[in-house]
Structure 1
Amino acid sequence: MNASAPAPGASGAPSAPTPPSGSRITVVVLTRNHVRQTVDTVARLTALPEHPYVIVADNGSTDSTVGLLASLFPQVRIVQGLGDRGMTGFNRAVALAPTEYVACCDDSTWFAPGALAHAVQWLDEHRQVAVLNARVVGHDEREIHPACLMLNATSPGDDDLPGPALANYMAGACVFRTAVFRTLGGYEERLSHGGAEELAALDVLAAGHSIVYCESALAHREPLYRWLTRAQHCTHARNSAWVAWMRLPMRDALAATGRALVVFARQRSLGPAGFALLRGAFWALRRRRVAPAHVVLLTRQVRRAERLVRAGIPAMAEKYDRAGQRAW
């Protein structure tokens, strides 16, 4: 259960901040115990020329994050959770977004001036697109996030779309149609620390929407990476296998399970992680709803392209392998 800012009009409670007049996009910032980074990010977002409505989704911070934000940015709405809910912290905040579009980022990521305007224009002009993945760069724009490079390099392309078609997206640097996110029901609680966006992407595509990589939607991230722990490696691999069991044909689910077991072995956690995977498989199978053929084909094309990129471009593959040890 979450606690949030008091509802507007509640007896004796202050009203929630009012969205800027004419704003068509909300930015939701996910944070937990990163007060300095969050203050810097919110300061940048509130200064954008697009004047987005900003909501901070706080995952139970125990430092001064909430109090300091409330004093420095009275125009920003703060939605407080009682604990670390991972990516599902986005759910309550997006439910409160009063705009047609919502951009999601974490406390180390911010959108460049003009990026949100480009995103709104793209989504206005291409109604079949439900999600835009931003181009994520370092603070000085000299280095692009390897995940963006991989998404772009492995897109099968689609002449009917305004950019590279994607089978997945980066949850910490994307722009959603708010109604689509709500229709999905938000991110799955059990996948909150890895894999939730994979499931959401498959469901977005299955519903007939598209996901596109948008070069002009520029986001900065500082630092560009963070290292994954051994447990996080295993969690991501396990959850990816669960997603495959929920939405992909049997051969794809078995392949994802095999990849997960390889990760567990490399992380020297084959027994405990393998048991957790098996135990959760029954939960995943109860939620099994295989995606349409065109979605399955897209995921297979992307997976095949990933293998070719890793095998055929050694320098790039090495960079991706290093990036595989990192995450948002």
Structure 2
Amino acid sequence: MGNAEGGRVTVVVATRNRVDELRRTLRHLEKLDPRPAVVVVDNASTDGTAEAVGSAFPDVLLVRRPHNTGCVARNTGVLYADTPYVAFCDDDSWWAPGALERAADALDAHPRLALVAASVAVGEEERPDPVNQDLLRSPLPRSEGLPGPRILGFLACAAVVRRSAFEEVGGFDALLFFGGEEALLAQDLAAAGWELCHLRDVLVHHHPSAVRPPGVWRRSLEERNALLTVWLRRSPGTVLARTARLAARSLHDPACRRGLAGAVARLPSAVRRRRPLPVRVERDLTLLERA
């Protein structure tokens, strides 16, 4: 997919049954200068999303999935990009003016930089998301020449990736489907020798959708995926400790109980796909967890 204005960044938006929020996001993206190429991947919506995009946003490339593929919809969107960098959006978030250019400048200047994590402003009142300070205060040692703090975590709705690096490590993992899927991608990029950093002056606006899944359901997926990520990549000691911790919490917390059961159901797949991290990445993760 080309960008008529010769931009460096394609925006990929994964969506499902949030047609009103998606319209708002696309209107904001249309106002950016330069205007980026936009790919919308519709995860089998039933609320008229595809028809609304097709009629109101003819310049947007719409990819319709026959069933909900969760986070892997972003991988699908990347397949349709031919720019060197890809920015991810949720259907209830959008990039601020100038943000994509600043991220692309950093990626241009640092060939081993795979991912830029943005700052996030939440709601009409533009509240700083707590993740901003977590990223800004990263305890990881700085890499020489990086334009911001080195990190091993990010929000998918606020990240710009180097397309070649993303494709090299396989993108988001289908085993996780949805909820905290960013951690595994960050670890895989670092394991492959890529750098990730936070840029404070790259901004995303996030106006959380009113159409959200139940809190317990979402948290159970996050607990499941956090444990699956540990099983897939972390050291044996960490695997044992984290499994025991979630098992203890599951005795009193329904979300943890559902998360543990979901992880156990996927254990055979996790074992087959286990690929332990290099010592240097394991060491960095331990440093983050202690901090």
TM-score bracket relative to the smaller structure: over 0.9
Flag the 1:115–1:174 CA change in 2: closer, same or farther, 3 A. same
Do structure 1's residue 217 and structure 2's residue 202 form an aligned pair? yes
Do structure 1's residue 248 and structure 2's residue 238 form an aligned pair? no
Question: Identity across aligned pairs (percent)?
Answer: 33
Aligned residue identity for 1:214? L
Q: Which of 174, 195, 220 lines up with 1:234 in the alignment?
A: 220
Do structure 1's residue 70 and structure 2's residue 60 form an aligned pair? no
> Once the 2 structures are TM-superposed, how far is the Cα of residue 279 of structure 1 from its aligned partner?
3.1
Deviates further, 190-199 or 74-83 = 190-199
Do structure 1's residue 30 and structure 2's residue 17 form an aligned pair? no
Q: Which of 78, 81, 87 lines up with 1:94 in the alignment?
A: 78
Deviates further, 228-237 or 87-96 = 228-237
> Once the 2 structures are TM-superposed, how far is the Cα of residue 252 of structure 1 from its aligned partner?
1.5
Structure 2 distance, partners of 1:139, 1:271, is 32
- Note the residue ranges of structure 2 that are not aligned, 5 or more in a row: none
Deviation per residue, 1:194-242 (Å, 9 max, x gap): 2422111111000101111111210001138967522321221121111
Structure 1 distance, partners of 2:20, 2:256, is 38
Helix, strand or coil for the counterpart of 2:188? helix
Structure 2 distance, partners of 1:22, 1:125, is 18
CA contact (8 A) 2:2 2:81 kept: no
Structure 2 distance, partners of 1:52, 1:99, is 10
Q: In angstroms, what is the RMSD of aligned CA positions?
A: 2.1
CA contact (8 A) 1:18 1:75 kept: no
- Note the residue ranges of structure 1 that are not aligned, 5 or more in a row: 1-16, 306-328
Helix, strand or coil for the counterpart of 1:204? helix
Aligned residue identity for 1:128? R
Do structure 1's residue 293 and structure 2's residue 279 form an aligned pair? yes
Q: Which residue in the other structure is 1:168 paired with?
A: 153
Q: Which residue in the other structure is 2:102 paired with?
A: 118
Deviation per residue, 1:135-176 (Å, 9 max, x gap): 000245641112222233344240522111111111121000
Structure 2 distance, partners of 1:163, 1:236, is 27
Q: Which of 58, 81, 84 lines up with 2:42 in the alignment?
A: 58
Q: Which residue in the other structure is 1:202 paired with?
A: 187
Helix, strand or coil for the counterpart of 2:274? coil
Q: Which residue in the other structure is 1:147 paired with?
A: 131
Q: Which residue in the other structure is 1:137 paired with?
A: 121
Flag the 1:134–1:224 CA change in 2: closer, same or farther, 3 A. farther
CA contact (8 A) 1:103 1:176 kept: yes
Do structure 1's residue 302 and structure 2's residue 288 form an aligned pair? yes
Size of the aligned set, in residue pairs, is 289
Structure 1 distance, partners of 2:23, 2:198, is 28
CA contact (8 A) 2:224 2:259 kept: yes
Helix, strand or coil for the counterpart of 1:175? strand
Given the two structures, how large is their TM-score scaled by the length of structure 1?
0.82
Flag the 1:270–1:174 CA change in 2: closer, same or farther, 3 A. closer
Flag the 1:159–1:255 CA change in 2: closer, same or farther, 3 A. same
